Chain A
């Protein structure tokens, strides 16, 4: 009896799988598909980001295949759910690298998960192209690892140039969040700003749990800076801006890195964040045609504006497709060609890999005007 149920179940499963295979197989293709693996958090804490990837990648693949695929061969994506957990991303790496159909891998989401899988891709000799891993030590860790989101080492100097060369502010005070990220972010900025001849009048920090910034703002105000650089997140920036407004401190410009770029900042900060300068890897209102094509397509398909996570995944799959188009689906050839990438026109800016196989990002200059993020053009 039990065996009978088992058999029936197995049969059902087999039929389901076959049915799915028929549904999924693009009947028009005679050529063998090119398989690309994606290791992403499709469930768990970071599911929201993994699902953004999935939407963007599916759309890009649809477009590529509709235009004839890669030299006549369609792309087929094999998704693996890593939950962005280092255990799962490493297990997926084993699975993907031992599957000889797979040409290359895209993923994982977090630095921790990417780095846990890194030695496995390295040993097997398969490209691991991560859309979001930003740890400065990740891409240099293996010749097979590539990162396209940029690192703080690139963002700090970019923001310093924005402050000093674009806005002409040379007397700068810094107020940073007291954690690893905030300290690194502050250090890269200050180092670059000093080299550009800026004067750092003071550096203050706050803790993640702080809500009262009146005292520290009053102190910084006494230093009379022209610009305050604030590596922080949108929550604290919104509170800080409101409290600064109440203290009547309006004669200094406020700037912070791309961590502030969120609709939540505008919602929480209201009018007090007007005039705030920041940056973004991806800006949906960017008029460049490749960005508009992506945004329109995404909005049409999913009825939502794509965010940064969708944008970097879209760039990753397109870059991968472009590379395979040039050299074919050979794992080693893909790596060598990827490393030579020159001026790939991504929606998150031009992609040029450094010797460390990460990217010095070409950020967008943003400023908040009338409660909206707008491109700074001067």
Chain B
């Protein structure tokens, strides 16, 4: 049962990684943390679920719709919570995002109800590889996560806006001085991060067959943990962090008990951070 548990962990971890990358994009460019990311993920998940249950659209269209909804929401959050307070320091935007997260959660309860909303199953088949039964859906989820990471890399490395984002991440004042439209970069980075969160939300809804208003809390926390674990500003670090948390959780269930999954996952994170405060692949923290 070790290999199936590794695959379970990898699948779950790849979705944590998508959430974690969102935190990295936001922190990396803007040097700020958002606490509404989990709720953006939840709203993306609901958009995807509605697309599948109400309009009966295929899953990839639902995925696109979830991502689009999260993009718009992220764009608005950046406009409301971050743009007007660019010079106000860290605390006010942080508090606003906590407020927004509560608003979004309650709004979801009002709009969609507090109970689980079922999401139809896709790819219920399994395939056998070297005697091990693997769920096709898990392969699809891993494929989607990997595909999105590749697209993101192409965007960041190969396009003009990607280059602007990297420049802003290094030093936004210098980038601004060189003629980069920093506001636009912030806006796009935030929307892009939200979009990845929305994708993770849709995929987790499909994976567990349920979406519900408080689903963002755990995902936001795990994603944030994975981001810190990986080194705060490193995308490969966030991916690694997400996957390690996912795998550790599933192995804990296998070798200890179901109740210990979060205990052990966070314990590993604490130990790593004590030994290596900059995270797995992080730069040494600069003093700002």
Are A246 and B215 in contact (CB-based, < 8 A)? no
A-contact bits for B1-30, CB 8 A (1 contact / 0 none): 100110011011000000000000000000
**Chain A residues positioned under 8 Å from B258 (CB to CB):** 204-207, 210, 215-216
Are B4 and A242 in contact (CB-based, < 8 A)? no
Bound CA span A243–B9, Å? 14
Binds A, one of B77-85, B159-167, B231-239, B248-256: B248-256
**Chain A residues positioned under 8 Å from B250 (CB to CB):** 214-215, 218
Known: A211-B210, A211-B215, A248-B135. A219 touches B121 (CB 8 A): no
Closest Cβ neighbor of B251 among chain A residues: A215
Are A216 and B118 in contact (CB-based, < 8 A)? no
Identify which of A178, A207, A218 contacts B5 (C-beta below 8 A): A218
Answer yes or no: A212 CB below 8 A from chain B CBs.
yes
Number of inter-chain CB pairs below 8 Å = 82
Bound CA span A207–B253, Å? 13
Are B261 and A239 in contact (CB-based, < 8 A)? no
Answer yes or no: A238 CB below 8 A from chain B CBs.
yes
Are A248 and B118 in contact (CB-based, < 8 A)? no
Bound CA span A245–B209, Å? 12
* B window 101-116: CB within 8 A of A: 115-116
Bound CA span A245–B125, Å? 8
Return B191 CB to nearest CB of chain A, in Å: 27
Return A81 CB to nearest CB of chain B, in Å: 26
Q: Looking at chain B, what size class is its interface with the partner chain?
A: 20 to 34
Are B1 and A268 in contact (CB-based, < 8 A)? no
**Chain B residues positioned under 8 Å from A267 (CB to CB):** 118
Closest Cβ neighbor of B1 among chain A residues: A222
* A window 205-234: CB within 8 A of B: 205-207, 210-212, 214-216, 218-219, 221-222
Are A212 and B12 in contact (CB-based, < 8 A)? yes
Identify which of B4, B9, B116, B124 contacts A268 (C-beta below 8 A): B116
Identify which of A178, A222, A239 contacts B208 (C-beta below 8 A): A239
Bound CA span A242–B124, Å? 9
Bound CA span A214–B247, Å? 12
Return B86 CB to nearest CB of chain A, in Å: 37
Closest Cβ neighbor of A247 among chain B residues: B135
Identify which of A215, A235, A245, A247 contacts B253 (C-beta below 8 A): A215
Closest Cβ neighbor of B123 among chain A residues: A246
Closest Cβ neighbor of B136 among chain A residues: A246
**Chain A residues positioned under 8 Å from B137 (CB to CB):** 246
Answer yes or no: B157 CB below 8 A from chain A CBs.
no
Bound CA span A108–B17, Å? 51
Return B153 CB to nearest CB of chain A, in Å: 28
Are A245 and B1 in contact (CB-based, < 8 A)? no
**Chain A residues positioned under 8 Å from B115 (CB to CB):** 235
Known: A215-B261, A216-B258, A248-B133. A243 touches B208 (CB 8 A): yes
Bound CA span A219–B2, Å? 9
* B window 201-215: CB within 8 A of A: 208-210, 212, 215
Return A276 CB to nearest CB of chain B, in Å: 16
Answer yes or no: A270 CB below 8 A from chain B CBs.
yes
Are B253 and A219 in contact (CB-based, < 8 A)? yes
Return A200 CB to nearest CB of chain B, in Å: 16
Return B151 CB to nearest CB of chain A, in Å: 26
Return A171 CB to nearest CB of chain B, in Å: 16
Q: Which of A178, A206, A214 has the most CB of B within 10 A?
A: A214
Are B121 and A246 in contact (CB-based, < 8 A)? yes
Return A340 CB to nearest CB of chain B, in Å: 45
Identify which of B9, B118, B257 contacts A205 (C-beta below 8 A): B257
Are B208 and A211 in contact (CB-based, < 8 A)? yes
**9 A-B pairs whose Cβ atoms sit less than 8 Å apart in the complex:** A211-B208, A211-B215, A215-B8, A215-B254, A218-B8, A222-B254, A245-B121, A247-B135, A248-B133
Interface positions of B (Cβ within 8 A of A): 1, 4-5, 8-9, 11-12, 115-116, 118, 120-121, 123-126, 133, 135, 137-138, 208-210, 212, 215, 249-250, 253-254, 257-259, 261
Known A215-B253, A242-B209, A248-B125; 19 more pairs at CB < 8 Å: A205-B257, A205-B258, A211-B208, A211-B210, A212-B208, A215-B250, A218-B4, A218-B253, A219-B253, A221-B1, A221-B4, A235-B115, A239-B208, A242-B121, A243-B209, A246-B138, A247-B4, A248-B126, A270-B121
Interface positions of A (Cβ within 8 A of B): 178, 204-207, 210-212, 214-216, 218-219, 221-222, 235, 238-239, 242-243, 245-248, 267-268, 270, 272
